[in-house]
Amino acid sequence: MGIESFTPILNIPQVAILGIGSISLKPIMKEDKVQFIPHVGLSLTFDHRAVDGAPAARFLQELAITIAKFELKNI
C-alpha cells in the first residue's frame, strides 16, 4: 500500500505484532561510492507484561540480519 512505516496496535490477547513497511531504495556509502540498497522498515509492538524489551530487540536484530542475507534467485 506504499506505507513507508507505521506502528501496529496490539489487541488483547496478542503478545506482539510486527509492522512491516514498504521496501525503498536508500543511499549508502560503500567503498567510496554511493549505492542504493533496498531497505524495509520494521516496527515491533509488544506487551511489556509478557515480554521484556531485550528479547524483543534481539528478535528484531535477528530478523534484520536474516532479511539482509536474503537473496532472490531467478526461477
Catalytic residue from among 48, 49, 69, 73: 48
Instruction: Say how many CA atoms lie within 13 Å of 3 toward its Cβ.
Output: 10
Is 48 labeled as catalytic in the residue annotation? yes
The whole-angstrom separation of Cα 34 and Cα 47 is 39
Catalytic (active-site) positions: 48
